[in-house]
Amino acid sequence: MREILQILESDARATPARIAVITGLAEEEVARQIALWEASGVIRRYKTVVDWERYGEDVVEAYIDVSVTPERGAGFDDIAARIYRYPEVRSVALVSGGHDLRVIVRGDDIKEVARFVAEKLATLERVTSTNTHFLLRRYKEDGDVFGEADPDHRLMVAP
Partner 1 sequence: MKSLNHAVLQTPPSGIRRFFDVASQMPDAISLGVGEPDFVTPWRIREAGIDAIERGYTTYTSNAGLMELREAVACDLESRYGVSFDPSAEILITVGVSEGLDLALRALVNPGDEVIHFEPGYVSYVPGIRFVGGAPVAVRTSADDGFRIRPEALAAAVTPRTKAILLAYPNNPTGGTLSRDDVAAVVRLAVEHDLYLVTDEIYSRLTYGGEHTCAASVPGARERTVVLNGFSKAYAMTGWRVGYVCAPPPVAESILKLHQYTMLCAPHMSQKAAVEALRHGEAEVRRMVSEYDRRRRFFVRGLNAIGLACHEPLGAFYAFPSIRSTGLSSEEFSTRLLHEARVAVVPGNAFGETGEGHVRCSYATSMPKLEQALDRMARFVQTLSRPGHTTGEERALAAHV
- Contact 110/99 with Cβ under 8 angstroms? no
Q: Is 27 in the site for partner 1 (CB under 8 A)?
A: no
Q: Looking only at residues 125 through 154 of this chain, which bind partner 1 when binding is defined by CB under 8 A?
A: 150, 152, 154
Cα Rg for the chain, rounded, in angstroms?
Answer: 21
Applying CB under 8 A, the span of 20-28, 38-46, 79-87, 127-135 interacting with partner 1 comes to 20-28
Compute the least distance from the CB of residue 147 to partner 1, in Å.
15
- Considering only 1, 12, 22, 93, the residue that binds partner 1 (CB under 8 A) is 22
Show Cβ contacts of residue 57 under 8 Å, excluding neighbours closer than 6 positions: none
By CB under 8 A, residue 3 contacts partner 1: yes
Binding of partner 1 by 13 (CB under 8 A):
no
Q: Which stretch binds partner 1 (CB under 8 A): 15-23, 39-47, 69-77, 109-117?
A: 15-23
- At a CB cut-off of 8 Å and minimum separation 6, what does 56 contact? none
Dist CA 157 CA 46 (whole Å): 38
First to last CA, the chain: 36
Distance of alpha carbon 148 from the chain centroid: 21
In the complex, least distance from residue 52 CB atom to partner 1, rounded to whole angstroms: 23
Residue 8 interacts with partner 1 (CB under 8 A): yes or no = no
Report how far residue 32's alpha carbon sits from residue 20's, in angstroms, rounded to the nearest whole number: 12
Summarize as ranges the residues that interact with partner 1 (CB under 8 A). Answer: 3, 7, 18, 21-24, 150, 152, 154-159
